[in-house]
């Protein structure tokens, strides 16, 4: 799942020094202080692009993920308030994976040193997962099952492009 780059959708930008924050690759985030962002040049979407490099989800998308997540999908939600140019505000949540599953096929994925350049998922390892990322994937990689993809389309969620990930 990637951000949609259509010009109609806005981008949430940092208001102050929040652009320098960094989430851990793994582990529960404790003592979270909700962030405040501003929406620029467009409308709110369910999967909102941002200058923090995080998975910023609307309440509708959060609820969809929570509803479809399997018992093996550990999701942590971190609240964010995004204020629009007209003063309206929307509540969003950063999707964080405290314990991402080891789902990569190590022989087929392409690496540059310790970084994954092209992930190839292991069919066996992803079975049973619905909403997930892999360890050290960064804060933008996000994978969903076909079931979740269908639900996203059925609900008409906005702001994302859905494509197939290689699975062997």
Per residue in 23-57, pLDDT (tens digit) is 888 899 998 988 999 999 899 999 999 999 899 99
pLDDT tier at 144, thresholds 50, 70, 90: very high
* Residue 72 domain-assigned (yes or no): yes
* Residue 21 domain-assigned (yes or no): yes
Report the predicted TM-score, pTM, of the whole model to 2 decimal places: 0.91
Q: What are phi and psi of 125, to 5 degrees?
A: -70, -30
How far is Cα 117 from Cα 109, in angstroms, rounded to an integer?
8
Domain count, the chain: 1
3-state secondary structure of 84: coil
* Residue 135 domain-assigned (yes or no): no
pLDDT at position 122 over 60: yes
Average confidence (pLDDT) over 139-152: 92
The total of other beta-carbon atoms located within 10 Å of residue 67's CB is 10
- What mean pLDDT, rounded, does the chain reach? 91
pLDDT tier at 94, thresholds 50, 70, 90: very high
Write out the residue range of the structural domain in which residue 28 sits.
2-99+146-156
* Residue 164 domain-assigned (yes or no): no
Cα separations in angstroms, 72 against 60, 129, 131, 156 = 21, 6, 9, 26
pLDDT at position 19 over 70: no
* Residue 55 domain-assigned (yes or no): yes
């Amino acid at each position: 799942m990637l951000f949609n780059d259509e010009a109609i959708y806005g981008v949430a930008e940092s208001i102050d020094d929040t652009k320098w924050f960094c989430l851990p690759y793994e582990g529960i985030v404790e003592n979270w202080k909700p962030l405040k962002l501003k929406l620029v040049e467009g409308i709110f979407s369910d999967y909102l692009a941002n200058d923090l490099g995080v998975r910023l989800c609307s309440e509708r998308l959060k609820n969809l993920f929570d509803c479809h997540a399997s018992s093996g999908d550990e999701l942590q939600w971190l609240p964010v308030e995004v204020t629009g140019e007209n003063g309206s505000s929307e509540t969003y949540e950063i999707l964080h994976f405290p314990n991402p599953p080891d789902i990569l096929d190590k022989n087929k994925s392409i690496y540059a040193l310790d970084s994954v350049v092209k992930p190839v998922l292991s069919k066996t390892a992803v079975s049973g997962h619905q909403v997930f990322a892999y360890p050290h994937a960064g804060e933008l990689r996000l994978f969903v099952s076909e079931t979740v993809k269908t639900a996203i389309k059925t609900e008409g969620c906005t702001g994302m492009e859905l494509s197939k990930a290689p699975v062997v």
